[in-house]
Amino acid sequence: MVRKDGRNDDQLREVRITRGFQQWPAGSVLIEFGNTRVLCAASVTEGVPRWRQGSGLGWVTAEYAMLPSATHTRSDRESVKGRVGGRTHEISRLIGRSLRSCIDLSALGENTIQIDCDVIQADGGTRTAAITGAYVALADAITWLGAAGRLADPKPLSAAVSAVSVGVVDGRVRLDLPYEEDSRAEVDMNVVATDVGTLIEVQGTGEGATFTRSTLDKMLDLALNGCAELARKQAEALEAPYPYELPTPAPDKKSKGSK
Amino acid sequence: MVRKDGRNDDQLREVRITRGFQQWPAGSVLIEFGNTRVLCAASVTEGVPRWRQGSGLGWVTAEYAMLPSATHTRSDRESVKGRVGGRTHEISRLIGRSLRSCIDLSALGENTIQIDCDVIQADGGTRTAAITGAYVALADAITWLGAAGRLADPKPLSAAVSAVSVGVVDGRVRLDLPYEEDSRAEVDMNVVATDVGTLIEVQGTGEGATFTRSTLDKMLDLALNGCAELARKQAEALEAPYPYELPTPAPDKKSKGSK
Amino acid sequence: MVRKDGRNDDQLREVRITRGFQQWPAGSVLIEFGNTRVLCAASVTEGVPRWRQGSGLGWVTAEYAMLPSATHTRSDRESVKGRVGGRTHEISRLIGRSLRSCIDLSALGENTIQIDCDVIQADGGTRTAAITGAYVALADAITWLGAAGRLADPKPLSAAVSAVSVGVVDGRVRLDLPYEEDSRAEVDMNVVATDVGTLIEVQGTGEGATFTRSTLDKMLDLALNGCAELARKQAEALEAPYPYELPTPAPDKKSKGSK
Amino acid sequence: MVRKDGRNDDQLREVRITRGFQQWPAGSVLIEFGNTRVLCAASVTEGVPRWRQGSGLGWVTAEYAMLPSATHTRSDRESVKGRVGGRTHEISRLIGRSLRSCIDLSALGENTIQIDCDVIQADGGTRTAAITGAYVALADAITWLGAAGRLADPKPLSAAVSAVSVGVVDGRVRLDLPYEEDSRAEVDMNVVATDVGTLIEVQGTGEGATFTRSTLDKMLDLALNGCAELARKQAEALEAPYPYELPTPAPDKKSKGSK
Amino acid sequence: MVRKDGRNDDQLREVRITRGFQQWPAGSVLIEFGNTRVLCAASVTEGVPRWRQGSGLGWVTAEYAMLPSATHTRSDRESVKGRVGGRTHEISRLIGRSLRSCIDLSALGENTIQIDCDVIQADGGTRTAAITGAYVALADAITWLGAAGRLADPKPLSAAVSAVSVGVVDGRVRLDLPYEEDSRAEVDMNVVATDVGTLIEVQGTGEGATFTRSTLDKMLDLALNGCAELARKQAEALEAPYPYELPTPAPDKKSKGSK
Amino acid sequence: MVRKDGRNDDQLREVRITRGFQQWPAGSVLIEFGNTRVLCAASVTEGVPRWRQGSGLGWVTAEYAMLPSATHTRSDRESVKGRVGGRTHEISRLIGRSLRSCIDLSALGENTIQIDCDVIQADGGTRTAAITGAYVALADAITWLGAAGRLADPKPLSAAVSAVSVGVVDGRVRLDLPYEEDSRAEVDMNVVATDVGTLIEVQGTGEGATFTRSTLDKMLDLALNGCAELARKQAEALEAPYPYELPTPAPDKKSKGSK
């Protein structure tokens, strides 16, 4: 059985990474996995949350959201509903946790990097695209902080982080599911990994079905290959110079993103 | 005194209108007034809110929001704060009211068009860009509804709607203020007008200052000229065909935007 | 066509201003525009909001609300709904902005004046009555602060502020609309002005209709005359002495409104 | 020890009851216990809450609130805080329960009477003034419903309801405590009673102290005498005719308070 | 008429008190009044709420809640509804107030004892069981604080506190109503008393009926006898030693319940 | 390195399962994993949520919560905070999803089973204990529904569901982590599995670290063995008869849990 979009089972959708999409945040990346488009911004603020003050450690946190117009049929706005839904919370926490696993928070100094992942168009895999794009925005924010002379140590990032979905559809293990496959998958898994092939997070769910351990193994094979390819795309995107003028160190910390 | 961006006092910033920015909503427009970028989507749903059911009339409503990363320094997410702020409410109501003034809701049939204006990048004039772009998205949604055979009358739009800001900066009346001017304006006004030169809404505010009636008159002159030019840009943008495949009438109402 | 209440098109309803309506706030004014009755209180507290501390500047802010029993059919209580509605927010912001335009906040010292406008009975024009009455309450609070020796400069008020509605009803431009006219007006405008005839805020809206610039001009003529008359009523009301015993300066700041 | 305001221990403050204070609700009463002033409105709506529909029974419910400017130092607005406080909830429930104990809800037909008690000025005893005034507003709403021919039975009220506070201050049992006494009372009790001397509600609390049964007995003596006097004041107030024009029965149910 | 469970009118249900039900709080008591089961925990934290800091006084406060599965038919979770209901608020305030009346807050030092009463199974009288159990948990927390050397004075408790319900059912005054009786009681009263027979709180309510003063007197007789018996049960339960290892004073305050 | 509680790395804590812990829900189970104690209730209601009505399918959903007193230091009550936290949401969704994977919702008929998992005492592994106990409560609810003649098919459960945590602590892979180990684990995984050894959900997270695929494999080995043992404990517990009297089919559906 062939996939509707003509891909092989172990093939990613086309990936596009656009740095400098917005002007003000220290990092701003538009990432596309096929028709899925997520805007990932990394904003820098001096200081850390109250419970962390005086520790000498920095902080990285994330928020994920969808534009109401991003989905096939419009979804209600969470600000209007007055509460953030469970799924949104879950994904925000996943993104923050994934990025923190590859950064040395003491090297960051008492700075906070706030990641915002806003889905512009949803066609499956929004959380994995968000993680993959957020890493690139984070790397730009680190470059910006380094230029401004605000890092306690010049190399806080220990590895690159990317993520991909994998699932069982029509009885076959497939990589990077679009909405059309995701919505009828029997098993659905998201894998977050580093560019050296270690795992950060594995979340696999039987959707009204259960799955064997050997299926799990096949899914991990495909996902780790997918993450390796995404890591190459990230590295390529980061070869170009920082997309805006960089700040100069001290005494004037007045530019981009700092208050 | 010359404006920082080199414009004359009565000149608009560069305006760009991109139709079909997103795939799923019936209308989706990215509008840019210089560095201000707003994504305006028009989603169609069958039926109307409960308080309107059985009236035979349609409904048009709007929600405005900013991405946290859209502003010079990151702003907090309203969904996380758990409430929509006063400014957001005010602008959402203004957009909806402005669009409803140019549409015959009985011609629309019992359909709802939900407008979402999400600011991608903010550099002054987000509400006026939102209204101007939302009209184009609304026009596309009307085309889509017409093709689907769901309009009670084929021409519900009675005029085009556009909006522009005007203000007093450095003692001079100026059109289409960017953030740098807006933040220190003595008087600030937003004008919504039709393409035949009539007014829909006028909101002028002294910012810690008062203003004379003759200043008000000069501001209206500039604003009405600005709206006329915006109306020409809208007409130009709408000359191209609908950016996606149009539905065919009944019995299959299954495509774009309908549930 | 004659107005139902027998007034000329350019005539205000009967205006009554009662100072000292409540005992505890530094200023408390019941204002009546015909059947519309609004209680405007000005409460003084030492200090200013956190974001303003140490600036040497004072602060004036306002909240507007309706009693549930104020309207023809009972309206739900916003505290019970758990959120302040868009209209309430909008009017609260308008009142605060209007009053701040006529006060020198540095002369006020680091004191906050909180204005509360609670509508006791609503019959159109509640926001304009609120602004007009709030100015009188503010003036009394300033007198109280001056007597207590807590002003940085004895004359912080630069002008008197009043407001009135004007609209197009039955094709005619009319001043100070009661609910019966307001609910069917084609155009509706609120004008806030000073006692020297300059403008503070102009908000005009076509209600499902548009309007020409010459209609706007006629509306402004009527509104400015109306505000001039309201300014005279305010001045008259303020001729009488402060309605309660005034504090004496320092060291005992223990009386009215201070904590 | 004499009371500051010169009253005897068993004496009420001056009581004033003004019917028809507002125009729109079917009953609207301003009640004053000395400096405590509460506006009590009774609004009629057709139908009953969903959980009661089809039962043939009516419903009476109440909401209590304070204007921010009613207290010695301004209190925050519950709508702005986004939640109704515990004390407010408690008093609202007490008022509704007290009034329901004296009305035959089957005689009322499927109509709802919504009581709103809004404190204009607070000087102790606001909840007891609210109950006492609310009964008068309720009686007016019943008169209005009767005139409109909407009662299932012409006499739904079985007794008059009034309430008073009593407490131990300076070691003495005293009636109807103003704020100055209430704030330092050792024991505080509110008693709701009928005009035939039976009890509806008794709530006595030791404020950081305990009290003997004989103290309880003395408090009940004073409270029951106080309620008897309040019942006489209510009867007097209700001798005058209904303060507005009464509706005529059916088919036009379009007037006061009905939707 | 005999009671369904065979008790005499003046008889309590079987009372069981289990100390040390949970390991972490300084006091944790499961109390059972027949089928009603309430878990009462007393948690100690250093310091007091902001408004009390520097006073040298401690603080005791309480929260009451029901498990959704505690009631005959499941009740919705208040956390999911996003607000605490009026009844919950009322009972929480009652518990806190009752316990504070028997404790010398200056002897407590600047420590806070937070009482949590969570209803595991509801069969009438949950608030009175909660108060009775909470006193035992409070006594254990005091013992714990004393052992840790953190009391300003070794004996902060001036009396034991217990509570019981009493009501009129089938025309008879009865003690300690189970749900089956409570739901059809004509009069319902809760009495909180000390072990020396003085009163702390009396709350009596006619449920759609009124009651005479002599009925009130009979209810008080039964309730005071019931409280006396509950005080004996509390004393018995507290005869056993503290159920866990006690802390030793200073410098290591690291154990149970302190942060 | 030996575990503090003396267990082998691949050993579960002592597991205790008590059925019929509460009287009213159709299933009520207290499950203990060592010091972790979770009360799992399954309440039956007729009908299904609105979005599912008319489908002929039943529904199973879950809510998870902690008592404030369950944790080492007291945690704030989510009802008082007015919102359910992200972690709570996440676990509630996990429990519901896990149970739905082993039940045929069409066999259930249009009934809803609401699972409530309330943590009485937390010592690590609360979510896995909750899932394991919830399955037993669900099985009891199914028995109850079957006896009442309300199942569309007598055997809706296709497998038993249990869950266990596993992690890397002190460099060793260990099963069923108590709080003391969980709080310093480098990798943390929760596995939900059936009694036939297939997987339902796998969630593994590097806590500030990454992990290799071979570590993942070792964790899965331990977890699947742990789940197999838990499935045996569940089967044992379910050998005893239903702990209360069962209903008889129709026409009287008046008993346990149905409204």
| Residue A208: per-residue pLDDT | 80
Binary contact (A69, B120; C-beta < 8 A):
no
Interface check for D88 against chain C (CB to CB < 8 A): the answer is yes
ipTM of the complex: 0.93
Nearest by CB to D198, from E93, E203, E211: name it.
E211
Average pLDDT over residues B243-249: 91
Quote the CA–CA distance of F135 and D46 in Å, as a whole number. 48
Predicted local confidence at residue A257, as pLDDT: 45
Q: Flag if F206 and A224 touch (Cβ within 8 Å).
A: no
* pLDDT over 90 at F99, yes or no: yes
Asked if the C-beta of F86 comes within 8 angstroms of chain E's C-beta atoms, the answer is no
Whether the pLDDT of residue F8 is over 60: the answer is: yes
Task: Tell whether the model's pLDDT for residue C189 goes beyond 50.
Answer: yes
Residues of B whose CB is below 8 A from A65: 77, 79
Residue B24 phi/psi, 5-degree rounding, is -85, -40
Alpha-carbon gap, residue A151 to A158, rounded angstroms = 15
Q: What is the pLDDT of residue B207?
A: 80
In B34-140, DSSP assigns E strands to 36-46, 59-66, 111-121
pLDDT for C207:
80
pLDDT-wise least confident of B31-40, B198-207, C249-258, E152-161: C249-258
Nearest CB to E24; choose among F23, F71, F118: F71
Distance from CA of C121 to the nearest CA of B (A): 24
Are D116 and C83 a contacting pair at CB < 8 A? no
Please state the rounded mean pLDDT for residues E174-181: 97
Binding residues of B: 87, 125-127
What's the pLDDT at E249?
85
Q: Which of E42, E203, E22 is nearest to E127 (CA)?
A: E203
Give the pLDDT confidence of B39-71 residue by residue, as tens digits: 999 999 999 998 888 888 999 999 999 999 999
pLDDT of the residue at D2 = 81
pLDDT band of residue B2 (cuts 50, 70, 90) is: confident
Please choose, from the candidates A179, A193, A186, the residue with its C-alpha nearest in 3D space to the C-alpha of residue A215.
A186
Q: What's the pTM value of the predicted model, to 2 decimals?
A: 0.89
Percent residues over pLDDT 90 in chain F = 86
Nearest to C23 among D23, D35, D83 (CB): D35
Whole-number pLDDT of residue B208: 80
Q: What is the band of E55 on the pLDDT scale with cuts at 50, 70, 90?
A: confident
User: Residue A96: CB partners within 8 Å, gap ≥ 6?
Assistant: A60, A61, A62, A115
| Nearest residue of chain F to residue A87 (CA atoms) | F90
Distance to chain E for D24, nearest Cα, Å: 29
Report how many Cβ contacts below 8 Å link chain C to chain D: 110
* Segment B147-163 mean pLDDT: 94
Question: CA-based Rg of chain C, rounded to a whole angstrom?
Answer: 19
Q: Residue E115 carries which side chain, given as an amino acid letter?
A: I
Q: Nearest-CA neighbor of C141 among C31, C15, C258?
A: C258
Hey, which bits of chain F come out as E strands? 15-19, 27-33, 36-46, 59-66, 111-121, 161-169, 172-175, 187-194, 199-206
Poorest-pLDDT segment among D160-164, F218-222, F253-257:
F253-257
Tell me: pLDDT of B224 over 90. yes
For the cut 60, the answer to whether the pLDDT of residue A14 exceeds it is yes
Q: Which of B18, B46, B69, B87 to mutate to test the interface with A (most CBs of A within 10 A)?
A: B69
Mutation for testing the C interface, residue in D30, D79, D253 having most C CBs under 10 Å: D79
Q: Would the CB atoms of E213 and D203 count as touching at under 8 Å?
A: no
Chain A residues touching residue B71 (CB < 8 angstroms):
24
- Higher-confidence residue: F55 or D144? D144
Binding residues of D for phosphate, as ranges, are 87, 125-127
From chain A, the residues in CB contact with B116 under 8 A are 67-69, 74, 77
D238 burial via Cβ count (<10 Å: 0-12, 13-18, 19+):
middle
List of chain C residues whose C-beta atoms are within 8 Å of the C-beta of residue B207: 101
A184 is known to lie in a ligand binding site: no
> What mean pLDDT comes out for the span B15-36?
97
Tell whether A46 is within 8 A of chain B (Cβ). Answer: no
Cα angle D52, C79, C92 (rounded to 5 degrees) comes to 140
In this structure, are strands D15-19 and C187-194 parallel, antiparallel, or unpaired?
unpaired
Measured between beta carbons, the chain A residues lying within 8 angstroms of F211 are 198-199
Structure tokens of E248? 């030793």
Q: Stretch A232-248: mean pLDDT, rounded?
A: 96
pLDDT score of F257: 45
* CA–CA gap between residue D239 and residue F210 (Å, rounded): 83
Tell if the CB–CB gap between B86 and C89 is shorter than 8 Å. Answer: yes
Mean pLDDT of F230-235: 98
> Measured between alpha carbons, how far is C61 from C44 in angstroms, rounded to an integer?
11
**How large is the average pLDDT for residues A197-216?**
93
Between D238 and F256, the more confident residue is D238
Q: Is E18 annotated as a binding residue?
A: no
Q: At F128, is the secondary structure helix, strand, or coil?
A: helix
SS3 D64: strand
Output the six-digit token pair for B163: 């909006």
Q: Band the pLDDT of B98: cuts 50, 70, 90.
A: very high
Is the pLDDT at C102 greater than 80? The verdict is: yes
Long-range contacts at D231-234 (CB < 8 A, ≥ 24 apart) = D231/D160, D231/D162, D231/D194, D231/D195, D233/D15, D233/D17, D234/D17, D234/D132, D234/D135, D234/D136, D234/D139, D234/D160, D234/D162, D234/D195
Q: Which of D34, D33, D39 is nearest to D118 (CA)?
A: D39
Most B CBs within 10 Å, among A38, A79, A120, A254, to test the B interface: A79
| pLDDT computed for residue D54 by the predictor | 87
Residue range E203-214: mean pLDDT, rounded: 92
- The string of DSSP letters for A213-245 reads HHHHHHHHHHHHHHHHHHHHHHHHHTTSPPSSP
Judge whether A22 is closer than 8 Å to chain B, CB to CB. Answer: yes
Q: Which residues of A touch F212 (CB under 8 A)?
A: 198-199
The H or E element spanning position C81 is helix C78-81
Chain C positions touching B90 (Cβ under 8 A) are: 86, 89-90, 93
The CA distance from E79 to C106, in Å, is 45
> In this complex, is the C-beta atom of D211 within 8 Å of any C-beta atom belonging to chain E?
yes
Region C163-186: mean pLDDT is: 96
Residue D252's CB is within 10 A of a number of other CB atoms, namely: 9
Tell whether the model's pLDDT for residue E8 goes beyond 70. Answer: yes
On whether any CB of chain D is under 8 Å from the CB of E210, the answer is: yes
Does the pLDDT at position F258 exceed 90? no
pLDDT recorded at residue D84 = 87
Q: If residue D80 lies in a helix (H) or strand (E), which one and from where to where? A: helix D78-81
Please report, to the nearest 10 degrees, the dihedral formed by the alpha carbons of residues C183, C188, C190, C196 taken in order: -130
Give a three-class secondary structure readout of A139-176: HHHHHHHHHCCCCCCCCCECCCEEEEEEEEECCEEEEC
pLDDT band for position B259 (cuts 50, 70, 90) = very low
Predicted pLDDT at C60: 97
pLDDT at F82: 83
Q: Identify the pLDDT of residue D252.
A: 47
Query: In the prediction, which pLDDT does F213 show?
Result: 95
In the sheet with D161-169, reading across from the earlier edge strand, the strands are D172-175, D161-169, D187-194, D199-206, E199-206, E187-194, E161-169, E172-175
pLDDT band at F23 (very low <50, low <70, confident <90, very high): very high
Question: Amino acid identity, residue E132?
Answer: T
Q: Which of B50-64, C159-173, D240-254, F226-240 has the lowest mean pLDDT?
A: D240-254
Kindly list the residues from chain E whose CB atom is less than 8 angstroms away from the CB atom of residue D101: 206-210
Q: For residue C27, give the nearest of C248, C178, C244 by alpha carbon.
A: C244
Beta bridge partners of F29: F19, F40
Instruction: Say how far apart CA D206 and CA E159 lie, in whole Å.
Output: 14
Check whether B157 has a pLDDT greater than 80. Answer: yes
Contacts of D78 in chain E (CB under 8 A): none
Q: With CA atoms as reference, report the closest residue to A67 among B61, B69, B39, B74.
A: B39
| Chain A to chain F Cβ contacts (< 8 Å) | 96
Tell whether A125 is in a known binding site.
Answer: yes
Q: What pLDDT sits at residue E1?
A: 65
Helix axes E86-100, D86-100, angle to 10 degrees: 110
Q: Name the H helices within C106-237.
A: 126-147, 179-182, 213-237
Residues of D in Cβ contact (< 8 Å) with C133: none
Select the residue of C43, C73, C80 nearest D84 (Cβ to Cβ). C80
The predicted pLDDT at position A11 comes to 97
B57 touches chain C (CB under 8 A): no
Residue A29 pLDDT level (bands cut at 50, 70, 90): very high
The string of pLDDT tens digits covering residues A91-119 is 999 999 999 999 999 999 999 999 999 99
Q: Which of C202, C179, C199, C200 is nearest to C189 (CA)?
A: C202
Helix axes A86-100, A126-147, angle to 10 degrees: 40
Q: How far is it, in rounded angstroms, from Cα D126 to Cα E192?
A: 25
Looking at chain A, which subunits does it touch, using at least 3 CB pairs closer than 8 Å as the criterion? B, F
> B86-100 and C86-100 are packed helices; what angle lies between their axes, rounded to 10 degrees?
110
H or E element in which residue F234 lies: helix F213-237
Structure tokens at E158: 């001036």
Pairwise pLDDT comparison (E81 vs D114), residue with the higher score: D114
pLDDT at B209: 85
With contact defined as 3+ CB pairs under 8 Å, the chains touching F are A, E
Is the pLDDT score of A252 beyond 50? no
Q: Which of D69, D76, D91, D112 has the highest number of chain C CBs within 10 A, making it the mutation to test binding with C? A: D69
Tell me, what's the pLDDT at B55?
Answer: 87
Q: Is C93 on the interface with B (CB under 8 A)?
A: yes
> Mean pLDDT over residues A126-151, rounded?
97
**pLDDT, mean of residues E59-70:** 97
Q: What CA–CA distance (Å, rounded) separates C72 from C65?
A: 16
Measured torsion, CA atoms of residues A140, A122, B67, B232, in degrees rounded to the nearest 10: 110
The answer to whether A57 and F57 are in contact (CB under 8 A) is: no
Q: What are phi and psi of D34, to 5 degrees?
A: 60, -125
> What type of residue is A122?
A
Contact call for A208 and F100, based on CB within 8 A: yes
pLDDT (tens digit, 9 = 90+) per residue, D30-89?
999 999 999 999 999 999 998 888 888 999 999 999 999 999 999 999 998 888 888 999
Written in H, E and C, the secondary structure of chain E is CCCCCCCCCCCCCCEEEEECCCCCCCEEEEEEECCEEEEEEEEEEECCCHHHCCCCCCEEEEEEEECHHHCCCCCCCHHHHCCCCHHHHHHHHHHHHHHHCCECCCCCCCEEEEEEEEEEECCCCHHHHHHHHHHHHHHHHHHHHHHCCCCCCCCCECCCEEEEEEEEECCEEEECCCHHHHCCCCEEEEEEEECCCCEEEEEEEECCCCECHHHHHHHHHHHHHHHHHHHHHHHHHCCCCCCCCCCCCCCCCCCCCCC
Rounded to a whole number, what is the distance in Å from the CA of A196 to chain B's nearest CA?
31
Element (H, E) at D162: strand D161-169
pLDDT for E255? 42
The pLDDT value recorded for residue C151 is: 94
Condensed to tens digits (0 to 9), the pLDDT of residues A34-56 reads 999 999 999 999 999 988 888 88
User: Which of D217-226, F143-152, F245-254 bottoms out in mean pLDDT, i.e. has the lowest?
Assistant: F245-254
Neighbours of B155 (CB within 10 A): 10
Residue B99: its H or E element: helix B86-100
For residues B178 and B124, the answer to whether their CB atoms sit within 8 Å is yes
pLDDT of residue E63 exceeding 60? yes
Instruction: Give the lowest-confidence range in B137-141, C27-31, E47-51.
Output: E47-51
Q: How high is the pLDDT of residue A259?
A: 38
